[in-house]
Amino acid sequence: MKTYRTDLKKIIKPLQYLLPAALFLIFLSACQSNQAKETRTGFYLNTVISVTIYGRSSEELFDGCMELAEYYDNMFSRTTPGSDIWNINHSNGSPVTVQEETLSLLRTALSYAEMSDGLVDPTIGTLSILWNFGDENQGIIPSETEITDALSHVNYKNVVISGNQVTLKDEKACLDLGFIAKGYIADRMKEYLVSKGVKNAIINLGGNVSAIGSRLDGTPYKVGVQKPFAETGTSALILEIEDKSVVSSGNYERYFEKDGILYHHILSTKNGYPSDSGLSGVTIISEKSVDGDALSTLCFLLGYEKGMALIDSLDNVEAVFITNDGTVYQTFDSP
């Protein structure tokens, strides 16, 4: 039997930057009734992940989920030597043969880049590396020259897919799939559990949640959306979901303050700075977590009015927008 034990001493420093994102759905477990369930946690994808199965479960099911997390982490990570993304970024513009899953994720990322005219862009890596959010040494504001240079290499049209090979036409470009990868992985883990006959479960990849079915008594899961900058566990509202994905993006997740100005990790591909869209958070409720992941970031960048218009144009997608003044807007009636 495999075990996945996390050494908290080794991850406590990284977690100080990641816990707000991981726990924005803190009410997920607190709001459930005392029904038979088992939970397994681990540390993958640079965050805490958990899988909760209601009713009958097994070590094999949990092992399978954690193995999938490790498998995709080693495939999509920008910082892991030998991953598909690492290999592409270090290819100096040469074609790189990658796994089918990488091709699938890249195609989806590129479709959102095309739809948004590059507002979300898988080649944002040069910019995200420059700002260094999530690192304990964050807090240095790049110079205009550095930002201009990084932006010059952000262009999704430089990603070329041919067969099972990927080429970056700009050899200094850098892929970073952080805006969409966890959603893709959550969908794959959900598919796995469903294929094994699981009917009631919650997958939580650092706050990126995918639900299978409902609670054992047939009632919806209750998921609290974290109120930006409030004490962890303070909800702006509570969602009721069944067999849906819930994903949130916000300026309260990874940020630093300097001279009274807040700098957060959702970067604009237009000017290279943290987005100033008037929003503090966006939560997306959708069928697929990969869509929720991409749309939560995109809607944050668009701002409330354009983001709401986008959601209104999509089928089976709902959203919650929280403005900087704390006003909550939603596209659905409260339960």
- Position 312 scores a pLDDT of 96
Q: What is the rounded distance in angstroms from the CA atom of residue 44 to the CA atom of residue 209?
A: 15
Neighbours of 104 (CB within 10 A): 13
To the question of pTM greater than 0.85 for the whole model, the response is yes
pLDDT tens digits for range 47-103:
899 999 999 889 999 999 999 999 999 999 999 999 999 999 999 999 999 999 999
> pLDDT grade, residue 139 (50/70/90)?
confident
For the sheet containing 165-168, what is the strand order? 96-97, 165-168, 159-162
Q: Where are the domains of the chain?
A: 8-75+200-330, 76-168
| Three-class secondary structure of residue 83 per DSSP | coil
Return phi, psi of residue 204, to 5°.
-130, 105
Which fold is adopted by the domain 8-75+200-330? Answer: T-fold (3.10.520)
What is the CATH superfamily name and number for domain 76-168? ApbE-like superfamily (1.10.3980.10)
| Coil vs helix vs strand at 292 | helix
